[in-house]
Structure 1
C-alpha cells in the first residue's frame, strides 16, 4: 500500500502528532522552530514501522547524513526555550494578521487563526487552538510594487527561511517558487504580490509599524 509521509515542520510536535492521524513517516526540519535561531542545519525522520526506521537509519549512516555533535548541542539549547518562543510568536502572528486585515493596498490576509481563513475550522480541530506563526498576505500590483514593499520594509530581514526568533519576510515568486511558471504559482494561490511572513518574538506594534510603513510606500503615501 501507499506510505503516508507528513512534513510537520510548520506545526511542530507540540501542536500536531501525525502518527495519531495515520502517518507512516514524519519529517521535520529542526533548523526551523525547534532550534529557533537560524544557526543549525539539522532534521529528523521518524517512522512507525521498525523496518522503515532501520532502512532510514542505514541510508543516513551510509550516505553521511548524520548530524554534527555541535548542531545537536545547539538544537538542544534551542529546545530549552521552544515553548516560550513558539507561544510568543503565535500570539504576535495573530495580532499581525488582525492588524493587517483591511489595510489599503492589501488584497488578502491569510492566517488560520482568523475566522475568515478557509481552513480555520479544520485547523482549530486538528491543532487544538494553536495556529502557528505563519502569516501570508497579498499586495495589489506587480513586481514594481513588490520591490517597493521589500525595500521599505528593510528592518524585517528578507529571507526564504522561517522559524527564527526574528521575523523574516519571504516573496515566493522570486525565491522559493521562482522555478514555477506564473500559471503554476497561481494554481497554488501565489500571485506576484504574495508574501509569507514568519513571525518571531518582536513586539507586534513594532512589526505592524514596519509593515504599514511599507504599505504606505507602495501606495505612494
Structure 2
C-alpha cells in the first residue's frame, strides 16, 4: 500500500487544521499581534512574543516540515537569513566544504562575512567524490551542497556525500533544495542532516515574498536553530508566512507544469543553431541524468544555456520571458548570472565554474508551452 497521505494532500492539509482556531477558519488567519496576554508572569500559554513564535508562522513551519519529511521546520526572514542561522552552528576554527558552483549570495556570505570569524571554507566540485575525500579534514563541521547548483545545474550524489561525512563525528550535511523542492527530492531521506530553502522561489511560487526555511529530523539541531531564530531575530512577518503557506498549496501542481515546460524548452534549445550548449538534468546529455533518476522524482524547471549571439539583442527581444533576478515564480524569467546573481564572485572563479558571459539562466514558468518556445526562438534569431 502506498504512503498516506500523499504529497499534494500534505501540501494542502499539514498544519492547517481549522480546529486550532476559535473561529474554525479553513484558511489560516494572519495573526499580526506582536505580543500575547499572560495570566501568570513569565508563564505564557502558547505564545508570548511574535519574534519567539507566531501562530501564522507555526502553520507554515509545520507544513514545510511535512513536505520535507522532517520533524522540525524553522522559518527565516530570507534565504540568506536561513544561511545566517545555520552558520550559528559554526565556531572559529571550523572548516566547511561547499559546492564550487553555489549561489552567489551564499558564496559572498561565506567569504565576506563568516571568514572574518575564523571559519575556513573550501569550494570544490562535490560531484567529484574523490576530491571531497582529499578535502575533508578533522575539523570539517559542515558540508554545504545544492540539490541542483545555481546556475550550472550540477547534481550532487547526496548519499555518497553523507557516507563520506560520517568519518567526522560532528560533521553535518546541509542540502540547499531550493531548485528541486521536496516535490522532486527529499534530501533527509537520503541521509542529509538539514534541508535549506529560499522560500522566495518555488515554495512560495508567486514572486511576492522574500523568505527562507530550514528543516531537520535532529531534535537537538531543531531546538538550537529555533533558539537562534529568536535570539538573532531573523524571522519572517506573519503576512509573508501567510503568503508562503498559501503558495505551497499548489506546489505539486506547479512543479509538474514547470518541469513539463522546462523539458520542452530544453529540447528546443538543443536543436537551435544559435545555442552552443544546453544544461538541463532532464536531458540524457546531462552528466548526472542517470543518478538523478535514482535519487530524485523529477528534474524541476530550471534550464541553463550558452548563447551564440548578442546578449542584449536577445534580452531586448524576449516578450513572454522577463529579464529579472530570482526564479521559481509562475512567470518565466531569464537572467545573466555573470552580471547579475553571481557578479559578487571573482571573475576567475566564475570562469572556472562555467559561469561565462554567454551563459543565460532560465526559470521556466507556467505560461503555455508553445508560447515559451516561440518566444525563445524569435529572441535567439533576433540575437544574431
Equivalent residues in 2 for 1:71-90, closer than 5 Å = 71-90=240-259
CA displacement, residues 178-219 of structure 1 (integer Å, 9 cap, x when unaligned): 123332112211221101101111011111111111111111
Equivalent-residue separation in structure 2 for 1:192 and 1:105 (angstroms): 15
CA displacement, residues 113-143 of structure 1 (integer Å, 9 cap, x when unaligned): 1111111111111113x110001110125xx
Contact 2:320 2:332 in 1 (8 A): no
Equivalent-residue separation in structure 2 for 1:112 and 1:205 (angstroms): 21
Q: RMSD value over aligned CA atoms?
A: 1.4
Equivalent-residue separation in structure 1 for 2:322 and 2:250 (angstroms): 22
Report the Cα offset of residue 17 of structure 1: 1.2
SS in 2 for 1:83: helix
Give the TM-score, by structure 2 length.
Answer: 0.54
Equivalent-residue separation in structure 2 for 1:124 and 1:187 (angstroms): 27
Match of 1:137 in 2: 305
Equivalent-residue separation in structure 2 for 1:126 and 1:105 (angstroms): 33
Match of 2:331 in 1: 166
Equivalent-residue separation in structure 2 for 1:207 and 1:113 (angstroms): 18
CA displacement, residues 7-56 of structure 1 (integer Å, 9 cap, x when unaligned): 11111111111112221111112221111001112221123322211111
CA displacement, residues 131-160 of structure 1 (integer Å, 9 cap, x when unaligned): 10001110125xxx1111111114411112
- Equivalent pairs counted in the alignment come to 215
Equivalent residues in 2 for 1:1-221, closer than 5 Å = 1-128=170-297, 130-140=298-308, 145-219=310-384
Tell which structure's C-alpha radius of gyration is larger. Answer: 2
Give the TM-score, by structure 1 length.
Answer: 0.92
* Segments ≥4 residues shifted beyond 2 Å: 179-183
Contact 2:337 2:343 in 1 (8 A): yes
